[in-house]
Each structure stands twice: as C-alpha cells, then as structure tokens.
Amino acid sequence: MDKLQAAQEHFIKVVQEQLERVARMKEDTEIVDYTKLDKIIIGCCGGDGIGPAITAEAERVLRAVLKEDVESGKIEFRQIDGLTIENRIAVNKAIPEDVLAEIKACHVILKGPTTTPSKGDGPNIESANVAMRRELDLFANVRPVSVPEEGIDWTFFRENTEGEYVLGSKGVVIDEDMSFDFKVITTQGTRRIAKAAFEFARTNGKKHVAIITKANILKKTDGKFLEICYDVAKDYPEIQVDDWFVDIISANLINEKVRNQYEVFVLPNLYGDIITDEAAQIQGGVGTAGSANVGNKYSMFEAIHGSAPRMLETGRQMYANPASMIKAAELLLRHIGYPQKADEVLKALKIANDTIKMTGRSDGATGAEFANCVIENL
C-alpha cells in the first residue's frame, strides 16, 4: 500500500478511537463514594521483580491497621496473582483478560511495580501500568512529596489517561527513515484533572496551583490543557493560579530559594512522569514516594519506582525497602475514608525510616523487619 495512504488510515483509526473515548468520558460522570459502601474490596497485585515482596509487606501493614474492619467484614483483601511479566508475555497482553476481570471485581488495588519490556528488549507489550490506568480510567495520578524541614509540601496532579502515553503503543512507522508517535489532549480529560487539582487545593487549604505545560511549543495540545485549566480555575477564585513551562519548573524545583512556594501542580502525562521522579529525588529518592491513581469508579495505589529485576536476579528481594508501597497503602487508606489510620501509618513509617537501616543487601534490614517496625509503632 502507498505509504501516505497507510499513514492516513492509521491516523483515522487513532482519531476514531479517541473520539469514542471522549464520548465515554462525557457519559461517565458518576463518582463512587467509598465511605458509603457496605464493604470495600482491596485487591493486592504483587507485580514483578521486587514487587511481590514489598507489596506483601505493605499489605501486612494495611491488615494490621484495618484489623477490626477486616474482622467485621467491612474490608476484604483479595490476592490477584496473574499480573506477572511471564504471564503477560504468554498471552501477549498488557493485562490478561482473567486478571483484568479479577481487578475489576475489587474497588481499590494495591499494586507492586510491573516490568515493561522496552523496544528491542523482548516482546513489544504495552506497560501494564498504562493499560491499567486506561482500562480502569484512572485519570488522576496524585503524587505527594514533602520535605518538612525545608517547608516543601507539594502535590502533583499528573493527567494519567491521555497526553503522550495513551497513544504510546499506537505510533506508526512510515518507512525505514521515519516514525511518528502521537499526543492527544481533550477538553474532558483536562477538565477532570484540573477539577481534581483545584478541589484538592480547596479542601486542603492550599492557596496556589501551578499549571505546567510547554504551550509555547506544543500550541495545540498543551495550549488546550492550559486554556481549560485556567477556565476551571475561575470556579476557585480564592486560589491563586499561574503557569510555568516544564523546563523552568524542573530548574525551580532544585532552586532552594523558590521551591517551597509551590503547593499544587497540574500537568500533562509525560511532564508529570518526569517531574515527579525529580520531586521524589528531592524527598530522598524514588523509593520514598507513593502514588495514587484515581478514577470515578476505581482507584489503584502503587510505588513510583520500577520492579528492580536485578535485585530479584541476585536473590535480594527480601532486602528491598517496602517504604514506597507502605506510602501507597497510606494514600489508599486516605482515599477510602480512613484519614486517621492513614496518619497513623505515616507517623509509624517515619519512625521506621529513621530507625531501620535498609541497604538493599544482607548488611541491612529486611523488608519484613522494616514492616514489623511500622506495625509495632501503629
């Protein structure tokens, strides 16, 4: 087939799918209130590499803090085992059908890191993270970062279902000399993430929201993101709003003179991915950060780091630090209506961080010892 015609057909298909997604977003406005459910089902997916080890420790902390509600039947834990790279390669799917059905039968998911093969690194399977965020429509990726001694208390609202990622496996190779990937931004997709950020600011007494784009260059997509965020801001007159380009914001985050002035950030997917790793590093490393992936119906809580396959290969998974997954468990508790228990976990986590020496090797503590310390201090 003629190259131009093939490209055209490919693009038409991509646009059609996205138009259908917009139509679904317009319909899907009902929000599940977890505090009104008689029973909350928490699904635990261990994932790959060090994932199963650190997720099991975080689950132990959750079970300890929710003991009474587990006994009364208000909370049920379910183990979901099939989200492994071996299984995903075997069925050639980012999330095997049966695993997705098990996930969808839960309300919230605690998920360990999953391995994603990069180009040239085995089969071309889509990231399980990206797939889960899309399948469950988890549009808000909320990532808190705090360094109290420096007055840093940031919350990032990364758009999680569009931008460069939703079409990441839908790019097109025109010929041996040329390839395209696509970025999509929609009014509905932007409005809902902006609303989530401003609502958070309002209910948590934050005074400032920063919109991050590169709208001077990506005028259509980031331009739309910027315009819609400012439009949503009109409903929150008490909150100061401004916008920054992603390059200067990455510099400002390492500028100690200005960085503690920021509070809430709202940003498209790719920038959110990059900037939140930078922010986590300022807090003490990606291993210290947790991440909430929230939609209208489902939500999923995870670490922001990867599966560290080398640790598993060298048999060191039991020395992996579960702090990030325990942080994810804390965010989960807050989300399902247990803010006091979340505070308890946070306090105990700080004690464990200050007293238990984790090195990732046998000269340090094990993940179980770390989690025991958290549990003892609840």
List contacts with ligand IPM (CB under 6 A).
Answer: 116, 127, 129-130, 273, 304
| Closest distance of CB 230 from ligand IPM, Å | 26
CA distance 266 to 140: 10
| Between 116 and 161, CB nearer to ligand IPM | 116
| Between 132 and 374, CB nearer to ligand IPM | 132
| Between 43 and 113, CB nearer to Mg ion | 113
Q: What token pair was written down for 33?
A: 């209130």
CA distance 61 to 330: 9
Which has the closest alpha carbon to 134: 273, 16, 253, 25? 25
| Closest distance of CB 112 from ligand IPM, Å | 12
| Between 311 and 356, CB nearer to ligand IPM | 311
- Separate counts of helices (H) and strands (E) for the chain: 14, 12
CA distance 240 to 314: 50
| Between 142 and 365, CB nearer to ligand IPM | 142
| Closest distance of CB 295 from Mg ion, Å | 19
| Closest distance of CB 48 from ligand IPM, Å | 11
| Between 65 and 303, CB nearer to Mg ion | 303
| Between 40 and 112, CB nearer to ligand IPM | 112
| Closest distance of CB 29 from ligand IPM, Å | 25
**Which helix (H) or strand (E) is 303 found in, with range?**
strand 299-303
Region 254-273 residues binding Mg ion, contact defined as CB under 5 A: 273
Q: Quick check: 59 binds Mg ion (CB under 5 A)?
A: no
| Closest distance of CB 131 from Mg ion, Å | 15
CA distance 85 to 263: 37
* DSSP label at residue 31: -
Q: Compute the chain's Rg from CA coordinates.
A: 21
Q: Quick check: 302 binds Mg ion (CB under 5 A)?
A: no
| Between 197 and 304, CB nearer to ligand IPM | 304
**Residue 130 interacts with, from Mg ion, ligand IPM, none (CB under 5-8 Å by kind):** ligand IPM
**Residue 296 interacts with, from Mg ion, ligand IPM, none (CB under 5-8 Å by kind):** none
Beta bridge partners of 243: 211
Long-range (24+ apart) CB contacts under 8 A made by 145-149 are 145/276, 145/279, 145/280, 145/282, 145/283, 145/289, 146/283, 147/282, 147/283
165: helix, strand or coil:
coil
Q: What token pair was written down for 6?
A: 């093939």
Residue nearest to ligand IPM (CB): 127
Beta bridge partners of 75: 40
**Residue 196 interacts with, from ligand IPM, Mg ion, none (CB under 5-8 Å by kind):** none
CA distance 191 to 29: 12
**Residue 116 interacts with, from Mg ion, ligand IPM, none (CB under 5-8 Å by kind):** ligand IPM
174: helix, strand or coil:
strand
| Closest distance of CB 262 from ligand IPM, Å | 19
Query: Where do contacts with Mg ion occur on this chain (CB under 5 A)?
Result: 273
